Structure 1
Amino acid sequence: MSKALFDTIRDIKGSPLTQADVDAVNAALSGTPGRVVSKAGLALIKSFEGLSLKAYPDPATGGEPITIGYGHTGGVKLGTVWTQAQADNALADDVSRFANGVAKLIGDAPTTQGQYDAMVSLSYNVGLGNFGSSTLLKKHKAGDHAGAAAEFARWNKAAGKIMAGLTRRRAAEAAMYRGEA
């Protein structure tokens, strides 16, 4: 069904669809219209996830989860090698999934683009389940944006260890959330 739908939209538009067009249609179909990660949000995710075309073990545990591409996990085995196109496609799919999940979790709470992008980046890294039960989300939905921004710093550990990279990422996400990035 979706191929036919996108073909029809492409015909109506009279030109190829951009990734933003596809994301907007997917958001509308999922009941979360208007919630699309910006270029700055995507750049933040890519900058901290990095790119590896060869699967590698989690740096904190030395094991699971096995990761490839731009932080893609799930069904990945050591020794797997991807092309750039596979990494780009997985990133688009993963970001869309997390963006839709965050949009559903924040509901109709007033949210700036920077706040949304920062929360998508956080959930991309810690998972929607963890984000969904977080104090950060509760504070955001309650309108306590200063309190929510302060919560990012709490998510700087992996396997119980403070990680310098996560500390830097959380500072960047908090700055984006506050509208400083």
Structure 2
Amino acid sequence: MRTSAEGIALMHHYESCRLSAYPDPGSVDGRPWTIGWGHTGPEVKRGLVWTQAQADAAFLRDLQATEYLVEKMAPTATQAEFDALVSFAYNLGAAALRGSTLMRLYQAGDKTGAAEQFLRWDKNDGAVLHGLTKRRNAERSLFLGATSAVAIAIGDRAKRAIA
């Protein structure tokens, strides 16, 4: 299965594209350094600059790797579910999705319970990040069948969680 245009639109909205490497704004130590559409890796360090073509190519490579792993975990996913799960795994890593209650509930057939689990993943280094609150609300909405435009609107209206 491949991520639809709806899923990519949501991912691009929340990742945005930066052509100069930057430290993770939500982590205490700034790691991992990121570039392009949320690309991380050992080659991403302070001072790295990419072209738009490099950023787009890395996004496609990273997306394909994420799609492959999500398809193995959720082979019967609907397109909307798949898109939301790919966005989640792209942002947090497939290992986080694999070991999550979200995936355990999903694989057990509890899609409602799984949808609610998206909202629990709004922290980095223990602190609630408003950007993650918005993204998780949007992913939950996409998972439940909303279009990307509606999901993004719901996400962007999400209030900061009170910890």
Give TM class, smaller chain: 0.7 to 0.9
Give, in whole Å, the separation in 2 of the partners of 1:120 and 1:167. Answer: 17
* TM-score, normalised relative to structure 2: 0.87
Aligned to 1:141: 107
Q: Secondary structure of the equivalent of 1:116?
A: helix
Distance in 1 (CA, whole Å) between partners of 2:20 and 2:47 is: 7
Deviation beyond 6 Å, 4+ runs, structure 1: none
Match of 2:86 among 120, 128, 134: 120
Aligned residue number for residue 56 of structure 1: 22
Q: Which residue of 2 aligns with 1:79?
A: 47
Aligned CA RMSD, in angstroms, stands at 0.9
3-state DSSP of counterpart to 1:55: strand
Which residue of 1 is the match for residue 117 of structure 2? 151
Tell me: higher relative CO, structure 1 or 2? Use CA pairs within 8 A at least 6 residues apart.
Answer: 2
Q: Which runs of 5+ in 2 are unaligned?
A: 148-163
Q: Aligned residue for 2:35?
A: 68
> Which residue of structure 2 aligns with residue 29 of structure 1?
none
Q: CA deviation at 1:180?
A: 2.0
Q: Which structure would you say has the larger Rg?
A: 1
Shift of 1:63: 1.4
SS of alignment partner, residue 59 of structure 2: helix
Partner of 1:168: 134
Report how many aligned residue pairs link the two structures: 145
The separation in 1 between residues aligned to 2:74 and 2:145, in whole angstroms, is: 18
Give distance in 2, aligned partners of 1:147 and 1:124.
Answer: 21
Q: CA deviation digits over 1:42-78, x for unaligned, max 9?
A: 1111110011000000001251100000000002011
Find the partner of 1:89 among 42, 46, 57: 57
Q: Secondary structure at the match of 2:140?
A: helix
CA distance in 2, matches of 1:150, 1:63: 29
Whole-angstrom CA distance in 2 between matches of 1:116 and 1:69:
23
Deviation at 1:105, TM superposition (A): 1.4
TM-score, with length taken from structure 1: 0.78
